[in-house]
Amino acid sequence: MRGLRRFLLLAVLVLALPVRADYAYALWGDVKEPADFTHFPYANPDAPKGGTLRLVSNSRASTFDKYNPFTIRGSAPAYLSALMFDTLLTGSLDETATGYGLLAEDVSVAPDGLSATFRLRREARFHDGKPVTAEDVKYTYETLIGPYVSPGYRTMLYEVDGCDVLDARTVRFRFKAPNRELPLTVGGLPIFSRDWGAGKTFDQVVMDTPIGSGPYRIGPVNFGKDITYVLDADYWARDLPVRRGTANFGRIEVKIYKDNTARLEALKAGEFDLMRFFSAGDWARRVNGKRFDTGELVKAEFKNKLPTGFQSYVLNTRRPQLQDRRVREALGLAFDYEWMNRQLFYGAYQRVHGLFGNTRCETHGEPTAAELALLDPWRAELPKAAFGPMVEPPVTESPMVLREHLRQAQKLLKEAGWEVQDGVLKNAQGEPFVLEYMDSSEGGVRTIFSWQHNLAKLGIALNFRSVDFALYQQRLQKFDFDITTIAFQGTNNPGQEFADLFGSKAADQEDSGNFAGVKNPAVDAMIQAMVSAKSLAGLLPACHALDRIMAAEYYLIPQWSASTHRMVYDGWRLAKPDVVPPYSPGEMWAVDTWWSKKP
């Protein structure tokens, strides 16, 4: 899944529907950098190469058991896909929708929108020294739509009709219909060599060292625990404008800690140089000590303009007790976010309000005429709330307001056929209302305690289940849970990836991203409208309509987001550029553009 997440990130950063070949293209507007640009403004082209960056793994997995980030089973090392595989096009961290050629020196989309053609750079090389060819691109595409990889790739590439090799350095992707996003999608494919695992089916390519073309190779490994990536001294793209001032560290060491407390103490002890914080409690109360006092460790918050994403409690509608929309709404009414943010998070977060926060697609107020034109054909199937003001999460300003929310929830549950009997909520068959919240961290129980308490007042038992991360992944892949938390990443340019997240076809695909089990033809129609939009004016109403449906159906209970990256870094060992890019992806900004003071 990590390889898929990188694929999705790259796919939304790159190009759309140009009518001629060029060095870069913008999705909706002008390209920021001119054809003769020498480097991105947030990168230091004179940064020294060498030295070591010591990281703690950003993965929740407590080990790794393979080097293949694309197959379904197992866990690959953190950062492997980002460091080892180049793509046809690469995005900029200070633009939201422009792609610049990386493996491809140029790209063109046919005037009818039915194909995109990429011309590979003559100098592009894999780690084994062989050139990156059109045959490798085709092999990558056909592998990623095959049976052995995460099905999210097949969903993403469903409307690609095929891939043709025109000559050794030219490849053309054919599309089933004009689609502004498909050039973005294929442009973001992580390209690997045909020789990787040659002679094996792809599911058997497990421990074979990946043959990519990215800036780093695998170095020393303490298998399952620590991994070191070593800068490729012969990296083919090091002098390209899109790469100058990046990949500055000679070695990147990544350590895995199973225990959060041990990881924090290791940071304080100087065992690694950079750590990103997601716990508001740790950030507020435990990021301190001698090395902070001397200035060796620096505690910093870096503002960004990234989409907020839509981290949420996911309600698995495959479960009988969660199939009624009124029940799902009732569960959300019992969730007191304001108390949680005040008591547990030190006021550090903002509530998520929809799928597209902090982007042009963010939805507010009443639907426009264009949105209603999309929604009206589904009026009989959708709740009335989808046609009114944007549904917002309930705000609990005081205990009195909470009591009113619980009364509303009780009424909704009764309408759905649930009655309290001897303090227990039961259905007509006398079955109690019991749910399980699944998490891979024991600390998760702290964040749902108040929710458990409020649900108990309604007669609902919400049990907490902590499982090992490997089992957690397996249960997610098989949709074997009632409620869990998913941190969905946001995007400025939504499209086909939403078919994997909420499309009906994905609901029955094991290991898809449709954890909520959404099977709603109106949702499918809005996703298709997003994908087929030919302009920003056509995209926005489709995004807003989808947002309204999802909010009114209560498939997700919105959680929280932050507008900064909270990071601690070693100020004596690390240096960073003066410019903080607005769309910096957390610690990967440091991995890509910082450098060592001790090369």
Both tokens of 402, joined, read 């909470």
H or E, element range at 525: helix 521-532
Global pTM reads 0.82
Residues 535-540, mean pLDDT to the nearest whole number: 91
Sequential DSSP letters for 218-279: EEEEETTTEEEEEE-TT-TTTTSTTTTT-S--SEEEEE--S-HHHHHHHHHTTS-SEEEE--
Condensed to tens digits (0 to 9), the pLDDT of residues 400-448 reads 999 999 999 999 999 999 999 999 999 999 999 999 999 987 777 888 9
The per-residue pLDDT of the chain, averaged, comes to: 91
Among the residue ranges 38-42, 59-63, 401-405, 579-583, the one predicted with the least confidence is 59-63
At 138, is the secondary structure helix, strand, or coil? helix
> pLDDT tens digits, residue range 343-359?
988 888 899 999 999 99
Backbone φ, ψ for residue 295 (5° rounding):
90, 0
Whether the Cβ atoms of residue 272 and residue 266 lie closer than 8 Å to each other: yes
What is the residue-wise DSSP string for 419-461? EEETTEEE-TT--B-EEEEEES-TTHHHHHHHHHHHHHHTT-E
Residue 122 tokens, joined: 């003559």
Hey, which residues does 470 pair with through a beta bridge? Answer: none
Residue 593 · residue 245 · CB < 8 Å: yes
Distance CA 180, CA 15 (A): 9
Closest by CA to 576, choosing from 585, 564, 589, is 589
- Asked if 536 contacts 360 with a C-beta cutoff of 8 angstroms, the reply is yes
pLDDT tens string 180-217:
778 878 998 999 999 999 999 999 999 999 999 999 99
Which of the two residues, 223 and 130, has the higher pLDDT score?
Answer: 130
Q: State residue 8's pLDDT score.
A: 43
Query: What's the pLDDT tens digit per position in 314-330?
Result: 999 999 999 999 999 99
Cβ within 8 Å of residue 107, ≥6 positions away: 15, 18, 21, 22, 25, 88, 89, 99, 101, 116, 117, 118, 119, 183, 187
